[in-house]
Chain A
């Protein structure tokens, strides 16, 4: 009762102030909830009418301020078996294998499959990729950014168009050098960020993938069989 009185008083006070000063504060201007996109392409008969199968999150202002960063909404989140054609290389979102690549500060010496890597992006990982043959000193710098740091993974990527690229779900940055300062900004803005991570709270730990990682072009998929 008293709390209600206080709340009501506060509301009236704020309204009065807005009326007098001609300005107010939009409380949730930078915390817009995710915008679901409903679709009718729900496969098969289902009691779940209008299931949300395509959805995306608003672009991050902090990420947008990084020169050269690429953003794409990437609304598809369905688990699909087999090789998937992506709209960017390396991919930054879209349908993927149900088996996410381990991203608990993992350094992969060999290229892993896109389909497993995209799923770890959905869990908030930053995926750093580099052109095979990158000078050892630069590779050591990338190792240092990733090794042992949760929500980070590093792997070579065949035919990468620059020496290094960095990916988060919906975001990408290409760099000519591992020492490009924008890489640290990218990580700082997007690594396991609640505002941009589609599945915030899902884990990066995936011990069985770590023991036997997929290879490029050969995504791992766990069977339904017994």
Chain B
């Protein structure tokens, strides 16, 4: 609304050539009408806050909520791997994933706070992605490990643990990247687009690295998420 408030100054600036008077008058009337309409809209606004913050149904808020949930499972998997694996290389990889995704969760939660949006929502997961936002057959977001997979992981040890960790984390990244891609393409806030784009590049790189390690350990990747 501040742009509208500033406008009378713009109109008052400098001499106006006579032949443009008609155009200027139309503009002044149009802007005045919009000031009134805008003020009415402002007074009628709901609980969604000011006009410049993403709403509960926005791509920005949906991405922040759902990717926080998605990341939280990755942090849990990586934390178990870091605590349990005896493979120094994978301990380091898990530590990197755990600390990085925890940081990103903090960023996304901070946005929700700043936008006045709840961390929890009754809005269906992935709905912010429109028709491209599909849950998998088990009702989970793409790439998420099932409760059974999580409990298997958290009772595994040695090479079997490392192979399962890599399989699940590759699958997890593969499911998360299209979510980040949608946010990079459709979020309204440039800083959300930037963070989403960084997730894509980082996780794409990590997939390549994890697949290489998985093959070295004699494992094969799970089928990629279908949604």
A contact residues vs B (CB 8 Å cutoff): 1-3, 5-7, 9-10, 12-14, 16-17, 19-21, 27-28, 31, 33-34, 36, 42-44, 46-48, 51-53, 55, 77-79, 98-99, 194-195, 198-203, 205, 222-226
A202–B3 alpha-carbon span in the complex (Å):
39
Task: Evaluate contact between B208 and A53: CB separation under 8 angstroms.
Answer: yes
Q: Are B86 and A226 in contact (CB under 8 A)?
A: yes
Give the complex CA separation of A185 and B99 in angstroms: 29
Report if B213 contacts A (CB, 8 A): yes
Answer whether residue B140 sits at the interface, using C-beta atoms and an 8 A cutoff: no
- Interface contact A13-B4, CB-CB below 8 Å: yes
Number of A-B contacts (CB under 8 A): 158
Bound-state CA distance A10–B34 (Å) is: 8
Q: In the complex, which of the residues B24, B46, B207 contacts A2, with contact meaning CB atoms closer than 8 Å?
A: B46
Q: Is the CB of B224 within 8 A of A47?
A: yes
Contact A201 B103, beta carbon cutoff 8 Å: yes
- Which residues in window 149-178 of B have CB below 8 A to A? 158-159, 174
CB-contact partner of A52 in B51, B100, B205, B221, under 8 A: B205
Chain B interface SS verdict (over half): helix
* Interface contact A52-B45, CB-CB below 8 Å: no
Q: Which residues on B are within 8 Å of A, measured CB to CB?
A: 1, 3-4, 7, 10, 24, 27, 30-31, 34-35, 37-38, 41-42, 44-46, 48, 51, 55, 86-93, 95-96, 99-100, 103-104, 107, 158-159, 174, 184, 190-191, 193-198, 200-202, 204-205, 207-209, 211-213, 215-217, 221, 223-224
Flag if A3 contacts B48 (CB, 8 Å): yes
Structural contact, A13 and B100, CB atoms closer than 8 A:
no
Cβ of B207: which chain A residues have Cβ within 8 Å of it?
46, 48, 51
* Cβ contact within 8 Å between A12 and B34: yes
Indicate whether A2 sits within 8 Å of B159 (C-beta atoms), given known contacts A13-B31, A20-B31, A44-B215: no
Taking CB atoms, residues of chain B closer than 8 Å to A201 are 99-100, 103-104, 107
Cα A94 to Cα B217 in complex, Å, equals 26
Task: With both chains docked as a complex, state the minimum distance between the C-beta of B139 and any C-beta of chain A, in angstroms.
Answer: 24
B92 and A42: CB pair below 8 A? no
B100 to chain A, nearest CB (A): 5
Q: A222-B88, A222-B89, A224-B213 are in contact. Are A16 and B30 (CB under 8 A)?
A: yes
CB distance from A43 to the nearest CB of B (A): 7
Q: A44-B212, A199-B198, A201-B104 are in contact. List 9 more A-B contacts (CB 8 A).
A: A3-B48, A17-B3, A33-B193, A33-B197, A47-B174, A47-B223, A195-B194, A201-B99, A222-B91
